[in-house]
């Protein structure tokens, strides 16, 4: 998901801020001019302090960014799985004696929160060996460059997502191409195939391509155990048909397989073994409410074997409604 802004002011070559935001927060013309001048000066100073071609890791401007990036206490989910993300953007740490796996990186400014959460649990960011991603938008991949630098980890992604992360910006085919903010470029990327199993120590994560929201969207599965009990986890990528104004899922030349990708992703999620479902935006599955119920004495509150099926079914219904609007010419 990205901010629903449709106009951008470009600062130099690498930095963008939304003019829509200035209209929202600074309604009169003079205030908008002054606000944009401040942003230009601030951005120029920031760019002069970093190497050429690299975007600041500290700021993304969007209406939801502050709320998404609010700190949240990290928590054990089950076995070796821990929630280390922010209040509005998920990140999951899978630990082992031989190194850790991190799923998703939040906003550029979210990297510091994720690192602090990992350390608060008694683990070291330097022991993260692998970072994987759900989809390459600034709110889920924005922090990956900083997390990679702090850990030295390899980043693994689908071919399309890897191209976005290398560029630090959305690529043609993304339904939200015009609305997507830039983010720091990622190096040392490993391109993966659908169904690949990636291992760090005793931890194994499996990639399932579930495109549609973006062409490179990827869901991840693994098993976490406590003593004799094991749970099948699914980190399901976003399945929402959100797009720029004017993008048509039914007639896109840049992403002609969007509907087929969605359908394949829905079928994949419906057939996966799914005891515990987590999504890139935790509120999509009421994750924190379920954690609270678990901690209040309902030991199986995180477990819902039908959650992936409902998630896919809900997304299929929303896509069908979107397709119907497009075919009828209704905005």
In angstroms, the CA 136 to CA 174 distance is: 10
In angstroms, the CA 40 to CA 15 distance is: 9
33 pLDDT exceeds 90? no
Provide the pLDDT for residue 89: 98
Confidence of residue 40 (pLDDT cuts 50, 70, 90): very low
Provide the pLDDT for residue 199: 98
Provide the pLDDT for residue 88: 97
Provide the pLDDT for residue 60: 62
DSSP state of 98: T
Q: What is the mean pLDDT of residues 46-68?
A: 60
Q: What is the mean pLDDT of residues 309-330?
A: 97
18 pLDDT exceeds 70? no
Provide the pLDDT for residue 330: 84
32 pLDDT exceeds 70? no
Q: What is the mean pLDDT of residues 187-196?
A: 96
Beta-carbon contacts of residue 177 (< 8 Å; ≥ 6 apart): 170, 171, 244, 247, 254
Q: pLDDT tens for residues 220-275?
A: 999 999 999 999 999 999 999 999 999 999 999 999 999 999 999 999 999 999 99
Q: What is the mean pLDDT of residues 117-145?
A: 98
Provide the pLDDT for residue 9: 27
93 pLDDT exceeds 70? yes
1 pLDDT exceeds 80? no
Confidence of residue 62 (pLDDT cuts 50, 70, 90): confident
67 pLDDT exceeds 60? yes
Q: pLDDT tens for residues 102-115?
A: 999 999 999 999 99
Confidence of residue 61 (pLDDT cuts 50, 70, 90): confident
User: Which two three-digit tokens encode residue 77?
Assistant: 């989910």
Provide the pLDDT for residue 214: 98
Burial 225-251 (b: 16+ CB within 10 A, else e): eeeeeebbbbbbbbbbbebeeebbbee
189 pLDDT exceeds 90? yes
Q: What is the mean pLDDT of residues 64-71?
A: 94
Domains of the chain as residue ranges with CATH: 75-328 (3.60.15.10)
Provide the pLDDT for residue 289: 98
183 pLDDT exceeds 50? yes
Q: What is the mean pLDDT of residues 187-204?
A: 97
Q: What is the mean pLDDT of residues 109-137?
A: 98
Provide the pLDDT for residue 59: 56
- Asked if residues 162 and 120 have their Cβ atoms less than 8 Å apart, the reply is no
> pLDDT averaged over the chain?
86
68-74 contacts: CB < 8 A, separation 24 or more?
Answer: 68/106, 68/107, 68/110, 68/139, 69/106, 69/107, 69/109, 69/110, 69/113, 71/113, 71/116, 71/117, 72/117, 72/288, 73/117, 73/120, 74/117, 74/118, 74/120, 74/121
% of the chain at pLDDT higher than 70: 82
| Residue bearing the bigger pLDDT, 48 or 161 | 161
Q: H or E stretch including 40?
A: helix 29-48
26 pLDDT exceeds 60? no
């Amino acid at each position: 998901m990205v901010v629903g802004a449709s106009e951008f002011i470009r600062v130099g070559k690498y930095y963008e801020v939304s003019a829509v935001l200035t209209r929202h927060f600074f309604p009169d013309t003079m205030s908008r001019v002054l606000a944009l001048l401040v942003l230009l000066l601030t951005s120029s100073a920031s760019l002069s302090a970093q190497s050429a071609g690299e975007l600041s890791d500290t700021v993304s401007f969007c209406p939801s960014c502050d709320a998404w990036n609010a700190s949240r206490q990290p928590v054990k989910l089950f076995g070796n799985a821990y929630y280390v993300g922010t209040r509005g953007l998920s990140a999951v740490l899978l630990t082992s004696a031989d190194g850790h796996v991190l799923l998703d990186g939040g906003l550029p400014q979210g990297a510091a929160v994720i690192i602090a959460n990992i350390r608060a649990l008694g683990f070291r960011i330097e022991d993260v060996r692998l970072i994987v991603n759900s989809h390459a938008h600034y709110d889920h991949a924005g922090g990956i460059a900083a997390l990679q630098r702090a850990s030295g980890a390899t980043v693994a992604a689908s071919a399309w997502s890897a191209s976005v992360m290398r560029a630090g910006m959305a690529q043609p085919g993304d339904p939200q191409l015009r609305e997507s903010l830039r983010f720091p470029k990622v190096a040392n990327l490993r391109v993966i195939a659908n169904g690949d199993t990636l291992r760090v120590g005793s931890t194994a994560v499996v990639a399932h391509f579930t495109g549609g929201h973006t062409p490179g969207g990827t869901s991840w599965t693994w098993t976490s155990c406590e003593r004799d009990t094991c749970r099948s986890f699914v980190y399901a990528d976003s399945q929402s048909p959100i797009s720029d104004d004017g993008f048509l899922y039914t007639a896109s030349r840049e992403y002609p397989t969007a509907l087929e990708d969605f359908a394949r992703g829905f079928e994949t999620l419906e057939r996966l073994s799914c005891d515990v479902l987590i999504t890139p935006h935790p509120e999509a599955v009421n994750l924190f409410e379920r954690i609270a119920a678990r901690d209040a004495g309902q030991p199986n509150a995180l477990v819902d074997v039908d959650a992936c099926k409902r998630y896919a079914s809900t997304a299929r219904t929303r896509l069908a409604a979107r397709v119907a609007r497009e075919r009828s010419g209704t905005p």
